[in-house]
Amino acid sequence: EAQVTQNPRYLITVTGKKLTVTCSQNMNHEYMSWYRQDPGLGLRQIYYSMNVEVTDKGDVPEGYKVSRKEKRNFPLILESPSPNQTSLYFCASSSSRGETQYFGPGTRLLVL
């Protein structure tokens, strides 16, 4: 089954404790992206990747890092999480530029 998977689905952590949210897709998509979703703000793009070893900032990149060492994986790294990063995070992928993005199930993060 073609899908985008994220882990963990739920995470509670404390301020300053580094964490990584994994994202994997099995569709051989070139393009992958991370979004955060907050009430009343819709989805905002954090980072995106056009292909292996090629990444760029989205609208709200502060406090986040990403890497793309393999085509199928695109982890989101929070080096020192803060409470304002409490949010619902989505990973998405698409086959190429300008094509429909398919979303993962989401990761709900609470930073205390």
Among 1, 62, 69, 97, binds other proteins (CB under 8 A): 97
H helices, E strands: number in the chain = 0, 11
Minimum Å distance from CB 59 to other proteins? 8
- Residues 15-54, one symbol each (x = binds other proteins by CB under 8 A, - = not), give ----------------x-x-x----xxxxxx--x-x----
Q: Please tell me the distance from the alpha carbon of residue 42 to that of residue 45, in angstroms, as a whole number.
A: 10
109 residue type, one letter = L
Residue 56: CB partners within 8 Å, gap ≥ 6?
Answer: 47, 48, 49, 50
44 or 71: CB nearest other proteins: 44
14 or 54: CB nearest other proteins: 54
DSSP code for 101 = P
44 or 72: CB nearest other proteins: 44
Among 1, 62, 69, 98, binds other proteins (CB under 8 A): 98
Q: Please tell me the distance from the alpha carbon of residue 102 to that of residue 112, in angstroms, as a whole number.
A: 30
Scan for tokens 């205390």, then name that residue: 112
Minimum Å distance from CB 30 to other proteins? 11
